[in-house]
Amino acid sequence: MKKEEKEKTPAFVSKRVNRSYIQKINSTPDKVFPLLCPRRELDWLDGWHYEMIYSESGFAEEGAIFKTKHEGEVNTIWTVTRYDKENFAIEFVRMTWEVIVVKIKMRVEDNHDGTSNLHVEYIFTPITEKGNEFIDGKSARQFLDMMKWWEKSLNYYLETGGKLLALKL
């Protein structure tokens, strides 16, 4: 291929999308924050499955690596890139091979009334056209529905003393 032909070939352009939501959680940050962990999510988020690859404690910690897989999809590899229990903040980077990289930031804010605000931000960065198609297929409404489900599930778990809210499909 000639140099001129290479220059005319359009380069991949990623469609980065940011989505955020604040969940109102009916408990204090010291009770909420430990639940933001792949192992602990099994207790309160119906439909969650994961496989731990590396963690010294078996729970969320900086440098922990785990994977998830949805039927018909390739593995998604997750890394805990920040774990700050004093400030109730955790961040993950997840990568689905040849599709997308997602940075997830979560911070639990104390409302000083027995409740918390859980700030959640997702930064989606497609790494291929397939990733751009994934972004095009995921609406702001789907993100909002997922955030509301998490919020409802987490509150149910905390309010019932540890019961799992069943996902109704």
The pLDDT score that the predictor gives to residue 70 is: 78
Dihedral of CA 50/56/61/63: which sign?
negative
* Tens-level pLDDT at each residue, the chain (169 residues): 555 555 666 689 999 999 999 999 999 999 999 999 999 999 999 999 999 999 999 999 999 999 999 777 889 999 999 999 999 999 999 999 999 999 999 999 999 999 999 999 999 999 999 999 988 888 899 999 999 999 999 999 999 999 999 987 6
* Measured distance CA(129)–CA(150) in Å, rounded: 29
Domains of the chain and any CATH numbers? 13-159 (3.30.530.20)
* Measured distance CA(60)–CA(15) in Å, rounded: 30
* Measured distance CA(79)–CA(62) in Å, rounded: 8
- Note the residue count of the chain: 169
The pLDDT score that the predictor gives to residue 169 is: 63
- Tell me the pTM: 0.90
The pLDDT score that the predictor gives to residue 9 is: 61
Residue 163 DSSP code: P
The pLDDT score that the predictor gives to residue 79 is: 98
The pLDDT score that the predictor gives to residue 36 is: 98
The answer to whether 24 touches 151, Cβ cutoff 8 Å, is yes
The pLDDT score that the predictor gives to residue 90 is: 98
The pLDDT score that the predictor gives to residue 3 is: 58
The pLDDT score that the predictor gives to residue 168 is: 79
